[in-house]
Copies of this chain bind each other. A is one copy, B any other.
Protein backbone atom coordinates (compact mmCIF):
# COMPACT_ATOMS: atom_id res chain seq x y z
CA UNK A 1 0.00 0.00 0.00
CA UNK A 2 1.52 3.35 -0.90
CA UNK A 3 2.72 5.38 2.05
CA UNK A 4 0.12 8.02 2.69
CA UNK A 5 1.78 9.83 5.56
CA UNK A 6 2.80 12.73 3.35
CA UNK A 7 -0.73 13.33 2.17
CA UNK A 8 -2.95 15.92 3.86
CA UNK A 9 -5.74 13.36 4.09
CA UNK A 10 -3.58 11.23 6.35
CA UNK A 11 -4.17 13.85 9.01
CA UNK A 12 -7.78 12.74 9.19
CA UNK A 13 -8.17 9.92 11.70
CA UNK A 14 -9.57 6.91 9.86
CA UNK A 15 -12.50 6.64 12.19
CA UNK A 16 -13.68 10.08 11.07
CA UNK A 17 -14.29 9.03 7.47
CA UNK A 18 -16.81 6.55 6.07
CA UNK A 19 -18.61 5.79 9.31
CA UNK A 20 -21.33 4.29 7.06
CA UNK A 21 -18.98 1.61 5.74
CA UNK A 22 -20.23 1.31 2.17
CA UNK A 23 -19.97 3.56 -0.88
CA UNK A 24 -23.45 3.67 -2.35
CA UNK A 25 -23.18 7.16 -3.79
CA UNK A 26 -21.48 10.53 -3.71
CA UNK A 27 -24.53 11.86 -1.88
CA UNK A 28 -23.76 11.66 1.81
CA UNK A 29 -20.00 11.98 1.38
CA UNK A 30 -18.31 14.96 2.99
CA UNK A 31 -15.95 16.97 0.78
CA UNK A 32 -12.98 15.86 2.94
CA UNK A 33 -13.99 12.23 2.36
CA UNK A 34 -13.97 12.78 -1.41
CA UNK A 35 -10.55 14.45 -1.16
CA UNK A 36 -9.29 11.60 0.98
CA UNK A 37 -10.30 9.04 -1.68
CA UNK A 38 -8.70 11.13 -4.43
CA UNK A 39 -5.45 11.36 -2.45
CA UNK A 40 -5.44 7.62 -1.90
CA UNK A 41 -6.12 6.95 -5.58
CA UNK A 42 -3.37 9.35 -6.63
CA UNK A 43 -0.82 7.09 -4.99
CA UNK A 44 -2.05 4.00 -6.84
CA UNK A 45 -1.64 5.77 -10.18
CA UNK A 46 2.15 5.68 -10.04
CA UNK A 47 2.05 2.20 -8.62
CA UNK A 48 0.03 0.91 -11.57
CA UNK A 49 2.52 2.37 -14.03
CA UNK A 50 5.24 0.08 -12.73
CA UNK A 51 5.56 -3.55 -13.64
CA UNK A 52 5.14 -6.00 -10.78
CA UNK A 53 2.30 -3.83 -9.61
CA UNK A 54 0.70 -6.14 -7.07
CA UNK A 55 0.44 -5.20 -3.48
CA UNK A 56 -1.38 -7.47 -1.15
CA UNK A 57 -3.28 -5.47 1.46
CA UNK A 58 -6.40 -7.46 0.51
CA UNK A 59 -4.67 -10.85 0.64
CA UNK A 60 -7.10 -13.49 1.84
CA UNK A 61 -10.16 -11.30 1.34
CA UNK A 62 -13.01 -12.28 -0.95
CA UNK A 63 -14.31 -9.61 -3.35
CA UNK A 64 -17.52 -10.51 -5.17
CA UNK A 65 -18.40 -8.51 -8.27
CA UNK A 66 -22.16 -8.98 -8.59
CA UNK A 67 -23.07 -7.45 -11.94
CA UNK A 68 -26.82 -7.71 -12.54
CA UNK A 69 -26.34 -5.43 -15.54
CA UNK A 70 -23.55 -6.02 -18.04
CA UNK A 71 -20.66 -3.61 -18.18
CA UNK A 72 -17.43 -5.00 -19.54
CA UNK A 73 -15.30 -1.94 -18.85
CA UNK A 74 -16.43 -1.31 -15.30
CA UNK A 75 -16.21 -5.00 -14.41
CA UNK A 76 -12.70 -5.23 -15.90
CA UNK A 77 -11.65 -2.16 -13.94
CA UNK A 78 -12.94 -3.49 -10.60
CA UNK A 79 -11.55 -6.97 -11.29
CA UNK A 80 -8.08 -5.61 -12.12
CA UNK A 81 -8.22 -3.30 -9.09
CA UNK A 82 -9.10 -6.15 -6.72
CA UNK A 83 -6.54 -8.57 -8.13
CA UNK A 84 -3.76 -5.98 -7.93
CA UNK A 85 -4.60 -5.59 -4.24
CA UNK A 86 -4.33 -9.34 -3.74
CA UNK A 87 -8.01 -10.11 -3.15
CA UNK A 88 -9.65 -13.35 -4.25
CA UNK A 89 -11.93 -11.85 -6.90
CA UNK A 90 -15.05 -13.72 -7.97
CA UNK A 91 -17.44 -12.49 -10.66
CA UNK A 92 -21.14 -13.24 -10.50
CA UNK A 93 -22.72 -12.73 -13.89
CA UNK A 94 -26.39 -11.87 -13.81
CA UNK A 95 -27.07 -13.62 -17.08
CA UNK A 96 -26.44 -16.97 -15.38
CA UNK A 97 -27.83 -15.94 -12.06
CA UNK A 98 -30.43 -17.38 -9.74
CA UNK A 99 -32.14 -14.05 -10.13
CA UNK A 100 -33.41 -15.40 -13.42
CA UNK A 101 -34.82 -18.36 -11.50
CA UNK A 102 -37.01 -15.93 -9.59
CA UNK A 103 -34.84 -15.46 -6.53
CA UNK A 104 -35.34 -12.11 -4.86
CA UNK A 105 -32.51 -9.60 -4.73
CA UNK A 106 -32.49 -9.83 -0.95
CA UNK A 107 -32.04 -13.62 -1.08
CA UNK A 108 -29.08 -13.09 -3.40
CA UNK A 109 -27.62 -10.56 -0.96
CA UNK A 110 -28.07 -12.99 1.95
CA UNK A 111 -26.34 -15.70 -0.08
CA UNK A 112 -23.30 -13.55 -0.90
CA UNK A 113 -23.14 -12.51 2.73
CA UNK A 114 -23.33 -16.10 3.99
CA UNK A 115 -20.38 -16.98 1.76
CA UNK A 116 -18.44 -14.48 3.90
CA UNK A 117 -17.66 -11.94 1.22
CA UNK A 118 -15.40 -9.14 2.48
CA UNK A 119 -16.52 -6.59 -0.07
CA UNK A 120 -19.29 -6.70 -2.65
CA UNK A 121 -19.29 -4.59 -5.82
CA UNK A 122 -22.78 -4.21 -7.29
CA UNK A 123 -24.08 -3.08 -10.64
CA UNK A 124 -27.84 -3.13 -11.10
CA UNK A 125 -30.37 -1.70 -13.53
CA UNK A 126 -32.63 -0.46 -10.71
CA UNK A 127 -32.00 2.69 -8.70
CA UNK A 128 -31.71 1.84 -5.04
CA UNK A 129 -30.83 -1.84 -5.52
CA UNK A 130 -27.34 -1.24 -4.15
CA UNK A 131 -28.63 0.41 -0.96
CA UNK A 132 -31.08 -2.49 -0.51
CA UNK A 133 -28.20 -4.95 -0.60
CA UNK A 134 -25.94 -2.79 1.58
CA UNK A 135 -28.66 -2.83 4.25
CA UNK A 136 -28.68 -6.62 4.33
CA UNK A 137 -24.99 -7.60 4.38
CA UNK A 138 -22.23 -7.37 6.96
CA UNK A 139 -19.46 -6.20 4.62
CA UNK A 140 -18.83 -2.98 2.68
CA UNK A 141 -20.74 -2.59 -0.57
CA UNK A 142 -19.45 -0.59 -3.53
CA UNK A 143 -21.89 0.87 -6.03
CA UNK A 144 -20.71 0.24 -9.60
CA UNK A 145 -23.79 1.93 -11.04
CA UNK A 146 -27.46 1.52 -10.12
CA UNK A 147 -30.22 2.58 -12.49
CA UNK A 148 -30.43 6.34 -12.93
CA UNK A 149 -29.27 6.86 -9.34
CA UNK A 150 -25.48 7.00 -8.88
CA UNK A 151 -22.15 5.77 -10.20
CA UNK A 152 -19.82 7.15 -7.53
CA UNK A 153 -16.48 5.67 -8.68
CA UNK A 154 -17.05 7.26 -12.10
CA UNK A 155 -17.45 10.65 -10.44
CA UNK A 156 -14.34 10.09 -8.32
CA UNK A 157 -12.22 9.10 -11.32
CA UNK A 158 -13.50 12.13 -13.22
CA UNK A 159 -12.64 14.42 -10.30
CA UNK A 160 -9.19 12.86 -10.06
CA UNK A 161 -8.61 13.36 -13.78
CA UNK A 162 -9.64 17.02 -13.54
CA UNK A 163 -7.53 17.58 -10.44
CA UNK A 164 -4.44 16.09 -12.09
CA UNK A 165 -4.89 17.88 -15.40
CA UNK A 166 -6.11 21.26 -14.12
CA UNK A 167 -4.30 21.41 -10.79
CA UNK A 168 -7.53 21.35 -8.80
CA UNK A 169 -11.29 21.12 -9.03
CA UNK A 170 -12.41 24.23 -7.12
CA UNK A 171 -13.34 27.11 -9.38
CA UNK A 172 -13.18 25.06 -12.59
CA UNK A 173 -16.02 25.76 -14.96
CA UNK A 174 -17.33 22.36 -16.06
CA UNK A 175 -20.11 21.70 -18.57
CA UNK A 176 -21.80 18.29 -18.58
CA UNK A 177 -23.67 17.71 -21.84
CA UNK A 178 -26.02 14.95 -22.91
CA UNK A 179 -28.78 12.75 -21.55
CA UNK A 180 -28.97 14.20 -18.05
CA UNK A 181 -32.39 12.68 -17.41
CA UNK A 182 -31.22 9.05 -17.36
CA UNK A 183 -27.56 9.47 -16.45
CA UNK A 184 -26.24 8.22 -13.11
CA UNK A 185 -22.82 9.42 -14.27
CA UNK A 186 -24.13 12.98 -14.53
CA UNK A 187 -25.87 12.76 -11.16
CA UNK A 188 -22.77 11.53 -9.31
CA UNK A 189 -20.56 14.02 -11.12
CA UNK A 190 -22.79 16.95 -10.24
CA UNK A 191 -22.70 15.90 -6.59
CA UNK A 192 -18.91 15.43 -6.53
CA UNK A 193 -18.01 18.52 -8.55
CA UNK A 194 -20.27 20.88 -6.60
CA UNK A 195 -18.99 19.39 -3.33
CA UNK A 196 -15.47 20.23 -4.52
CA UNK A 197 -16.56 23.80 -5.42
CA UNK A 198 -16.47 23.59 -9.21
CA UNK A 199 -18.85 25.79 -11.20
CA UNK A 200 -21.09 23.29 -12.97
CA UNK A 201 -23.20 23.86 -16.05
CA UNK A 202 -25.45 21.20 -17.53
CA UNK A 203 -26.73 21.08 -21.09
CA UNK A 204 -29.37 18.86 -22.72
CA UNK A 205 -32.36 18.99 -25.02
CA UNK A 206 -35.47 19.79 -22.95
CA UNK A 207 -36.68 16.19 -23.36
CA UNK A 208 -33.52 14.93 -21.61
CA UNK A 209 -33.27 17.61 -18.89
CA UNK A 210 -34.48 16.66 -15.39
CA UNK A 211 -37.00 19.12 -13.90
CA UNK A 212 -35.68 21.55 -11.31
CA UNK A 213 -32.07 20.46 -11.81
CA UNK A 214 -30.89 23.93 -10.70
CA UNK A 215 -31.67 22.82 -7.15
CA UNK A 216 -28.57 20.67 -7.39
CA UNK A 217 -26.51 23.86 -7.66
CA UNK A 218 -25.94 23.79 -11.41
CA UNK A 219 -26.91 26.11 -14.25
CA UNK A 220 -29.01 24.46 -16.99
CA UNK A 221 -28.64 25.25 -20.70
CA UNK A 222 -30.40 23.93 -23.77
CA UNK A 223 -28.01 25.68 -26.18
CA UNK A 224 -24.65 23.88 -26.19
CA UNK A 225 -22.89 26.79 -27.91
CA UNK A 226 -23.82 29.05 -25.00
CA UNK A 227 -23.12 26.40 -22.34
CA UNK A 228 -19.60 25.59 -23.51
CA UNK A 229 -18.52 29.26 -23.53
CA UNK A 230 -15.25 29.70 -21.62
CA UNK A 231 -15.44 26.28 -19.96
CA UNK A 232 -12.35 24.59 -18.49
CA UNK A 233 -13.79 21.09 -18.78
CA UNK A 234 -16.27 19.66 -21.30
CA UNK A 235 -17.77 16.41 -20.10
CA UNK A 236 -19.80 14.56 -22.72
CA UNK A 237 -22.32 11.86 -21.80
CA UNK A 238 -22.94 8.71 -23.77
CA UNK A 239 -26.19 8.67 -25.74
CA UNK A 240 -27.75 5.30 -24.94
CA UNK A 241 -28.93 3.39 -27.98
CA UNK A 242 -32.45 3.07 -26.63
CA UNK A 243 -32.85 6.87 -26.59
CA UNK A 244 -31.61 7.37 -30.12
CA UNK A 245 -34.78 6.60 -32.00
CA UNK A 246 -37.89 8.67 -31.70
CA UNK A 247 -39.13 9.54 -28.26
CA UNK A 248 -36.28 11.72 -26.96
CA UNK A 249 -34.36 13.00 -29.96
CA UNK A 250 -35.38 13.38 -33.60
CA UNK A 251 -32.30 11.57 -34.99
CA UNK A 252 -28.65 10.95 -34.13
CA UNK A 253 -27.66 13.29 -36.98
CA UNK A 254 -29.79 16.09 -35.56
CA UNK A 255 -28.41 15.32 -32.08
CA UNK A 256 -24.83 15.54 -33.33
CA UNK A 257 -25.61 18.85 -35.02
CA UNK A 258 -26.97 20.46 -31.84
CA UNK A 259 -25.25 18.57 -29.01
CA UNK A 260 -22.25 16.83 -30.52
CA UNK A 261 -18.80 18.02 -29.49
CA UNK A 262 -16.93 19.14 -32.61
CA UNK A 263 -13.64 21.01 -32.93
CA UNK A 264 -15.58 24.12 -33.99
CA UNK A 265 -17.71 24.02 -30.87
CA UNK A 266 -14.75 23.21 -28.63
CA UNK A 267 -13.13 26.47 -29.85
CA UNK A 268 -15.71 28.34 -27.74
CA UNK A 269 -14.32 26.79 -24.55
CA UNK A 270 -11.02 27.80 -22.92
CA UNK A 271 -8.04 27.23 -25.23
CA UNK A 272 -6.71 24.53 -22.91
CA UNK A 273 -10.12 22.95 -22.21
CA UNK A 274 -10.21 19.33 -21.15
CA UNK A 275 -12.52 16.92 -23.01
CA UNK A 276 -13.94 13.97 -21.08
CA UNK A 277 -16.25 11.04 -21.83
CA UNK A 278 -17.08 8.06 -19.58
CA UNK A 279 -17.00 5.66 -22.57
CA UNK A 280 -17.85 3.70 -24.56
CA UNK A 281 -18.15 6.53 -27.09
CA UNK A 282 -20.54 6.83 -30.00
CA UNK A 283 -18.10 8.54 -32.33
CA UNK A 284 -19.91 10.89 -34.69
CA UNK A 285 -22.93 11.10 -32.37
CA UNK A 286 -22.13 12.85 -29.09
CA UNK A 287 -18.46 13.40 -29.95
CA UNK A 288 -16.49 13.84 -33.17
CA UNK A 289 -13.53 11.51 -33.67
CA UNK A 290 -10.98 14.31 -34.04
CA UNK A 291 -12.05 15.65 -30.63
CA UNK A 292 -12.04 12.24 -28.94
CA UNK A 293 -8.51 11.59 -30.18
CA UNK A 294 -7.18 15.12 -29.73
CA UNK A 295 -3.69 14.87 -28.23
CA UNK A 296 -3.98 18.04 -26.13
CA UNK A 297 -7.64 18.27 -25.19
CA UNK A 298 -8.78 14.67 -24.73
CA UNK A 299 -8.41 13.10 -21.29
CA UNK A 300 -10.50 10.06 -22.18
CA UNK A 301 -7.89 7.32 -21.84
CA UNK A 302 -6.55 9.00 -18.71
CA UNK A 303 -10.04 8.64 -17.24
CA UNK A 304 -9.81 4.87 -17.77
CA UNK A 305 -6.44 4.76 -16.04
CA UNK A 306 -7.70 6.81 -13.09
CA UNK A 307 -10.64 4.40 -12.88
CA UNK A 308 -8.43 1.52 -11.78
CA UNK A 309 -6.62 3.69 -9.23
CA UNK A 310 -9.86 5.07 -7.77
CA UNK A 311 -11.34 1.59 -7.44
CA UNK A 312 -8.19 0.33 -5.73
CA UNK A 313 -8.45 3.23 -3.29
CA UNK A 314 -12.13 2.49 -2.56
CA UNK A 315 -11.54 -1.25 -2.08
CA UNK A 316 -8.54 -0.59 0.15
CA UNK A 317 -10.14 2.13 2.25
CA UNK A 318 -13.52 0.46 2.72
CA UNK A 319 -11.99 -2.80 3.97
CA UNK A 320 -9.57 -1.16 6.42
CA UNK A 321 -11.91 -1.39 9.38
CA UNK A 322 -12.52 -5.12 8.89
CA UNK A 323 -8.80 -5.71 8.33
CA UNK A 324 -8.05 -3.96 11.60
CA UNK A 325 -5.79 -1.34 10.01
CA UNK A 326 -4.53 0.95 12.75
CA UNK A 327 -6.73 3.98 13.23
CA UNK A 328 -9.65 2.33 11.44
CA UNK A 329 -10.72 -0.41 13.80
| Interface positions of A (Cβ within 8 A of B) | 48-49, 51-54, 59-62, 64, 70, 72-73, 75-77, 79-80, 83-84, 88, 90, 92-93, 95-98, 101-104, 107, 110-116, 118, 241, 279-283, 300-305, 307-308, 322-324
Contact = CB atoms under 8 A, between A and B. Distances in A.
A98 B72 CA distance: 6
Contact of A116 (B49, B79, B241): B49
B60 A52 contact: yes
A319 to B, nearest CB: 8
A169 to B, nearest CB: 21
Contact of A115 (B64, B76, B88, B97): B76
Contact of A84 (B49, B88, B279): B88
Given A53-B61, A101-B280, 12 more contacts: A51-B60, A64-B76, A72-B92, A73-B98, A73-B111, A76-B92, A80-B88, A102-B241, A102-B282, A103-B281, A114-B301, A114-B305
A70 B95 CA distance: 10
B103 A280 contact: yes
Nearest to A240: B101
A308 B115 contact: yes
Contacts of A110: 300-301, 304
Contact of A114 (B60, B64, B79, B304): B304
Contacts of A90: 76, 79-80, 83
19 contacts: A51-B61, A51-B322, A51-B324, A52-B59, A52-B60, A54-B59, A72-B97, A73-B98, A93-B96, A98-B280, A101-B280, A102-B241, A102-B280, A113-B301, A114-B301, A114-B302, A114-B305, A115-B305, A115-B307
B115 A77 contact: yes
Contacts of A307: 115
A71 to B, nearest CB: 8
A292 to B, nearest CB: 8
A275 to B, nearest CB: 14
Nearest to A90: B79
A98 B279 contact: yes
Contacts of A48: 116
B282 A111 contact: no
B80 A62 contact: yes
A45 to B, nearest CB: 10
A322 B79 CA distance: 22
A48 B60 CA distance: 10
A324 B54 CA distance: 16
Contacts of A93: 72, 96
Contacts of A64: 76
B305 A116 contact: yes
Contacts of A118: 51
